[in-house]
Amino acid sequence: MEFKKFKAATVQTSPVFLNVEKTIEKAISFIKEASQNGAQLIAFPEVFVAGYPYWNWVLTPVQGSKWYEELYKNSVAVTDASMQPLYQAAKDHNIHIVIGINERGDSYGEIYNTNLIIDNHGKLIGKHRKLVPTWAEKLTWTSGDGSSLKVYNTEIGPIGTLACGENTNTLARFTLLSQGELIHIANYISLPTAPPEYNMAEAIKIRAAAHSFEGKLFTIVSCSTISKEIVDILKPEAPQIEELAQRKDAAFSGFIGPNGAVIGQPLIDDEGMIYADIDLEKCIQPKQMHDILGHYNRFDIFDLRVNTAPTRKITFIDNHEDFNKR
C-alpha cells in the first residue's frame, strides 16, 4: 500500500467582491504560484466566488435584500463558462483545488454555500453544499442535503470538506471519517461581526484540532479576509463595518496534523499563502491509541444512520384511471 507524501498550500485572502471573473483570475494567480512552489493541493476560503453576505450581520433583512439580489447575480453554476478557466488551471498546473462558491440553485433566486473539489486533471469530482447556514446566513443560503457528505479519492489521497460552522457538527464530521477521509479541507470567512467575546481565530483552530485529533488525519484550513474594497462598498449603508473590520483574531488559516497540533506558522488575520508537507503515513500510528472507526468504538451500542438521498422537492404521481375503458 502506498502512503502519499505531497506539499499543500492554503490561501488567506479576500475575493474581488461580487465579481466572479476577477475572483477566478485572482484564484488562478494563487494556483500558478502554488504549483511553481511544488504544491499538489490548494485550498481556498468559503464562498470565495465571489463574496460573503456580510450585510446580513450589519443591516436589517429589508435593508440587505438588494445585496442578496446582487449576490445571486454573481453566483455561479458549476457548468458556467466563467468557471472553465478554474478547471483548466487545475489541469495545466497539475494541482487539486478545493474552493468555495455561491452556487445558483434550480429555483430562480436560490443560492447554496458550496465547496468544489477539483482534481489535478481539471475534473470537478465533487461538490459539497453546506448543510446548515449559520445564524444570520439563513437569510441567504438554502440548506444542502446528505448527498454531498462524501469523501473523494484522488491521486494524493482521500479528500473531504466542510464549510465553516458545520465543522462543529460531530455527526457530519464522523460521516466523512467513516468514508476514509485523510485530508480534510475546512474553509471559513473572517467574521469580525461575531460577538465581542468570540475569538474567531481560536475557534477555528479548536475545531480543526478536534477533527484532526479525533480522526487522526490532516486538516487544511483556508479563511478569507475583509478587504478595504469590501468595507468601502458596504460602509455607506453600514458605517460600523469599518471599525468592525479592524478587529483582531478574526481569521485563521493553516495546517493541523493527526496529533491535533498546528504545523508550522499559521496565518492570523494577515493575507497570504502558506505551505506544509503532508505525509499520510503519519495517520497510522495514532490510530493504535484511538481508532474511533475501529477498535476504539462500540458499534454494537452506537448506530449512526445518514440519509444520503438528494432532497426531493416534489413527487409527481399519475394514478389517473381512464374511465372510458370501464
Catalytic hit among 103, 127, 137, 164: 164
- Beta bridge pairs of residue 128: 115
* C-alpha cell read off for 93: 498546473
* pLDDT of res. 322: 58
Its pTM stands at 0.96
Name residue 199's amino acid.
N
46 counts as catalytic? yes
Q: Are 56 and 47 in contact (CB under 8 A)?
A: no
Round to whole Å and give the CA distance between 96 and 43: 9
130 given a catalytic annotation: yes
Which residues of the chain have a pLDDT value below 50? Answer: none
- Half-sphere exposure of residue 73, counting CA atoms within 13 Å on the CB side? 9
Q: Helix (H, G, I), strand (E, B), or coil: what is residue 60? A: coil
DSSP class per residue in 126-189: EEEE-SS--GGGGGTPPP--GGG---EEETTEEEEEEEGGGGG-HHHHHHHHTTT--EEEEEE-
Active site annotation includes 150: no
* pLDDT value, residue 300: 97
Render pLDDT for 267-321 as a digit per residue (tens, 0 to 9). 999 999 999 999 999 999 999 999 999 999 999 999 999 999 999 999 999 887 6
Catalytic residue among 26, 46, 137, 283: 46
Domain architecture of the chain: domains with CATH? 5-325 (3.60.110.10)
**pLDDT of the residue at 320:** 74
Query: What is the pLDDT at residue 3?
Result: 77
Of 26, 103, 127, 130, catalytic? 130
User: What is the per-residue pLDDT for 2?
Assistant: 74
